[in-house]
Amino acid sequence: MRVGHLAERCAKIRTLTPIPLPVGEGLSNRHLGSACLIIPRSATTTGPAMSIDQLETVAQAMVAPGKGIIAIDESTGTIKKRFDSVGIPNTEENRRAYREMLLTAPGLGEHISGAILYDETIRQSTKAGVPFTQVMKQAGIIPGIKVDLGAKPLAGFPGELVTEGLDGLRERLAEYVEFGAEFAKWRAVITIGEDMPSSTCIDANAHALARYAALCQEAGIVPMVEPEVLMDGDHDIDTCYEVTEATLRSLFAALYEHNVMLEGTILKASMVVSGKDCAEQADVDEVAESTILCLKSAVPAVLPGIVFLSGGQSDEDATAHLNAMNQLGPHPWPLSFSYGRAMQSAALQLWAKDMAGNFAAAQKVVVERARDNGLAALGQWRQAA
Give CA–CA dist 125/135, Å, rounded: 9
CB distance 287 to 270 below 8 Å = no
- What secondary structure does DSSP assign to 102-165, as a single string? HHT-TTGGGTEEEEEE-HHHHT-B-TTS-BHHHHHHHTT-EEEEE----EEE-TTSTT-EEE--
User: Among residues 226, 228, 245, 263, which one is catalytic?
Assistant: 226
Which residues are within 8 A (CB) of 308 and not within 5 positions of it... i.e. 6 or more apart?
A: 268, 269, 270, 271, 318, 321, 322, 335, 336, 337, 338, 339
CB distance 47 to 23 below 8 Å = no
Distances 297 to 19, 241, 301 between C-alpha atoms, Å: 8, 11, 10
Establish whether 228 is a catalytic residue: no
Q: What's the full length of the chain, in residues?
A: 385
Residue 118: closest CA among 78, 90, 65:
78
Establish whether 137 is a catalytic residue: no
Distances 356 to 84, 105, 153, 298, 353 between C-alpha atoms, Å: 18, 14, 41, 47, 9
Taking residue 30's Cβ as centre, other Cβ atoms within 10 Å add up to: 12
Give CA–CA dist 248/255, Å, rounded: 10
User: Among residues 67, 146, 185, 268, which one is catalytic?
Assistant: 268
Q: Which residues are catalytic?
A: 226, 268
